[in-house]
A and B are shown apart, each in its own frame.
Chain A
């Protein structure tokens, strides 16, 4: 059974930084591309970025490009999202998801909440 467990969400001031983690189990982690998707309170889903299984290549939404970085440690079965220069607009629940046969979210974690506020 695929399990994804996000952690690292916190309350942070504007301009601050945070690192989110997504611990994976139940599948061959290094073979699966992964994505981060966020959801602001009461709003819809918003793609953040995706990374290939080998971690060599990643793609980002324009809204986070240059501020957020996706990485992974396949030896630790863990996906990361480094968030820098945070703004109040980054307040959201952040989900990690596995890639299916296409770039859609096959399995999802339960999410971790990031709150950016002064």
Chain B
């Protein structure tokens, strides 16, 4: 089973600043990596798939990078509505696994 580790657990960023979230896989997952945003009381929302492809209607301030075992989600010019928990998930093989999440707070 591929273990996904996200860091930091919580990130506090000022509006307009950049947020950088990390996700590490315990073994290579190639580019089979997705990122989700989840706000309280809501379902997850797909942001990025294939490690770097934005999903439909996702703003350009969200970008993903990385391959193999190290991945990054970057939110440039953070806005108040970006306050949420962000999860990474690999889909390289079974079982599919998620990281523990990074909570992004607005200062």
Contacts and interface: CB of A to CB of B under 8 A. Distances in A.
Contacts of A37: 44
Contacts of A47: 89, 95-98
B87 to A, nearest CB: 6
Given A104-B89, A105-B36, A46 B43 contact: no
Interface residues of B, number: 23
A109 interface: yes
Contacts of B46: 100, 104-108
Interface in A82-118: 95, 100-111
Given A100-B49, A104-B34, A104-B49, A44 B44 contact: no
Given A45-B89, A50-B96, A59-B94, A101 B101 contact: no
Contacts of A45: 36, 38, 44, 87, 89, 98, 101
Q: Which applies to chain B's interface (DSSP): helix, strand, loop or mixed? A: loop
A44 B36 contact: no
A106 B55 CA distance: 8
B68 interface: no
A46 B45 contact: no
B91 A44 contact: no
A107 B91 CA distance: 16
Nearest to A6: B43
B64 interface: no
Nearest to B42: A110
Contacts of A46: 98
- Residue from A101, A104, A107 whose CB has the most chain B CB atoms within 10 Å: A104
A110 B99 CA distance: 21
B66 interface: no
A108 B98 contact: no
A101 B38 CA distance: 21
Interface in B56-107: 87, 89, 91, 94-101
Interface of A: 35, 37, 44-47, 50, 59, 61-62, 95, 100-111
